[in-house]
Amino acid sequence: MSDRDLTARTVGFKEGERNVFLHLLTACNLSCRHCYINPAQHGTATLPRETAIAWLRLFARPEKESNLVLLGGEPTLHPDLAEIIRAAKSLRYAVTVDSNGYLFHNLLARVTPAELDYLSFSLDGPDAAVNDPLRGEGVFETCTAGVHRAVAGGFNTSVIYTVSSRNIDHLHRMPPLLADLGVRRFFIQVIGLRGKPATGKGQGHGWQVDPARWLHIVPPVAREAARLGLHVTFPKVFLEQDEIFHCAGRVAENYFIFPNGRVYQCPLCEDYPLHSFEIRDNRLLRREGVNEDRLFTLDIPEGCVMNKLLQPDNIEYFADGRPRHRISCCLLKQEIVPERRK
């Protein structure tokens, strides 16, 4: 590929595109140091199969495909995941499952590659020495074995790498590993301001990566991954001077659904009872009062309002008071699609 082909493209929010993130449960076999699940806010329930399918009906559109990510906790701990995937397909969802790689309940034998659009694995290091202190002893080996089996079984696979100060220096070793494994897509994420890292339960502070380090490391690694044939997606994070800020809560259709019935439009709000909707008796209800949707309408020079509220100290300013960087919506992505995948 020429260098021109490796230019990252910002993936603007598309009118009419709907992304549904359904947390089937909050339980997990692992205890990652940066876990974003917050049982105090989202409960400990596992959605019964019938309820999960009823909730999927609330967000499905018969006339148009929507994107669905099934997640947890660890979604493969759900005994009926295969049936829920099949029901979602029949409701015109493109289905992705986000797993930590343990693939419980023999998932690969219970669904076919035609029924599952993507199986996504979370790996936070290119070897056990980097990954396992973050995600748990033995996790690297189990997860990469799961990727092997999925690729061999003909499933489309992707890997999510959550970048933090703990692992950013090892990101450059991921592209060759993923190309060797036969992974098709690589999602580079930034560590969230939610769950353990936000509450200080992540065993130490200082998980965030400063702008200069992010910009120095992440885009070149993304280009290298694309050069090796991977479709790469990574967060925009910082807007250029000429780029317009958009809050996804105002211009996109994203729904983050938890088993206690909370439905958020903004993932940064998930640690707070600010959800715009809730599901009660299998009906979707808009909530009255001061919720996340009030924040979406505030225009500030720093860009994302929630980022400014959650980590004001991380925003740098010029002497005249203007922010040095505008922070984009956390849902705004950049991507590089290798030529053969376009």
Interface residues with ligand SF4 (CB under 6 A) are 28, 30-32, 35, 37, 72-74, 100, 122, 247-249, 266, 268, 295-296, 304-306, 329-331
What is the nearest approach in angstroms of ligand SF4 to the Cβ of residue 295? Answer: 6
Neighbours of 233 (CB within 10 A): 20
What is the nearest approach in angstroms of ligand SF4 to the Cβ of residue 339? Answer: 31
Which CB, 88 or 331, lies closer to ligand SF4? 331
Q: Look up residue 7 and give its amino acid.
A: T
Which CB, 6 or 328, lies closer to ligand SF4? 328
What is the nearest approach in angstroms of ligand SF4 to the Cβ of residue 12? Answer: 13
What is the nearest approach in angstroms of ligand SF4 to the Cβ of residue 11? Answer: 14
With a CB cutoff of 8 Å and minimum separation 6, the contacts of 75 are: 24, 25, 81, 97, 98, 99
| Closest C-alpha to 255, from 237, 236, 269, 271 | 269
What stretch of H or E contains 300?
none
What is the nearest approach in angstroms of ligand SF4 to the Cβ of residue 123? Answer: 11
Which CB, 54 or 315, lies closer to ligand SF4? 315
Integer Cα distance of 302 and 266 in angstroms? 17
What is the DSSP code (8-state) at residue 84?
H
Length of the chain in residues, anyone?
342
Which CB, 136 or 229, lies closer to ligand SF4? 136
Residue 30 Ramachandran class (φ > 0 left, ψ -120 to 50 alpha, else beta): beta
Which CB, 28 or 54, lies closer to ligand SF4? 28
